Structure 1
Amino acid sequence: MHDDSATTGERLATWLEGLGLADHLANAGLPSFERDLGGLVRWRDPGTGQPLTAEQLADLDRVLHQDGDDPAHAVPLALVQLRRRAQVRAALLASAWHTYASLAAVRGASENATRFAVHKAAERHALLVVAHDGGVLVPAFQLTDAGELRPELGAVLEPLLAARMDPWQVWSWLTQPAGLLGGDVPHELARDAAEVDVVRHAAVRLAERASAGS
């Protein structure tokens, strides 16, 4: 890179590092960068792996600053959303969940029988199952001590899963404070028999929004 492009590359890299967004460039399909031992920024084209030209850096600069009324202070919203999604997934993965094997142990059943039962329940929209790293996770919040679906959550899960919402989004909504419920956590509020219908109504509204936006 010549001097102008090197300056642009350094400015963009420092800006993204300050925003905590540098690690999400590749997942957004954008050029990414690394610093050499001397701290010099090296930007690479995601398709070819070749260094970015001055023109490509200028295009990237425009793309990253296109959101907002003031380009000088714009924040790349797509990267912010990717960072937020990664943070949410990390928090969910840090909570309790089961594999087929661990759920089988809780249920006192074989792994094959548990796998079959989980698949059938998921097909009926009666169990939240989340794909991850080539396998599946069964979030534990929805289960009884015996490893079966909590009865009060059946009517809550059904509209969300039937709407084909992203399972990660379903997991997140059910386990975090929800605006539709005045800041209460849906799966916890559903334990109250007097409130479970309110939770289901909120789930139906969320499912309708998801369907309308798909």
Structure 2
Amino acid sequence: MPRGLSGAAGPGGSGTTGGRYETPQASELQRLMWTKNGTSGHLDRVLPRIYVGDMYAAKDKRTLHAHRITHVLNAADGKFNVNTGARFYRDTKITYHGVEAFDVPSFNMSRFFAPAADFIKNALSSPTAKVLVHCVMGQSRSSTLVLAYLMIHENRTLADAIRAVSAGRNISPNAGFLEQLRQLDKELNSRRAGI
């Protein structure tokens, strides 16, 4: 386990200091993702009723039906990405939400954190719902939105969210997305601490 993520603060100032959590450095978070506990299939269950997948899984209605997927969050929506949309699923009972994001570090993914997290939360309010969050490869954009959901609605720290998701799938948010998640982590932890 990387220094500072086991509860004691390391030289980088991460972990907890006197009982107070501090957001780990990006390099420490990346090491958490390098554990390779997860897989890299087309569709992997990362948490109860939450799946992360790639564009092939998103377009395979038979597989979606077999996994009883009821909601799809496309983190790579649009004609230059994975152009499915609600019309693609019109012959199914799938509820669709699209985010037109590009997998480049300069892209502002943080503006989609709350709407995507709310979509997942609302979907999971039904006890039989299952959500697929996907992008092209199922590693950067999709995992970023699942991590944001866990932080916003399940009150997890970024490090805990990464541990949870990477246990079921190999994930790799790009450097810009990871920095935006670190910023979210800092904001949420300040709110929790009443700062």
TM-score under structure 2 length normalisation: 0.24
TM-score under structure 1 length normalisation: 0.23
Q: Which has the higher strand share?
A: 2
Q: Which has the higher helix share?
A: 1
Higher relative contact order structure (alpha carbons within 8 Å, sequence separation ≥ 6) = 2
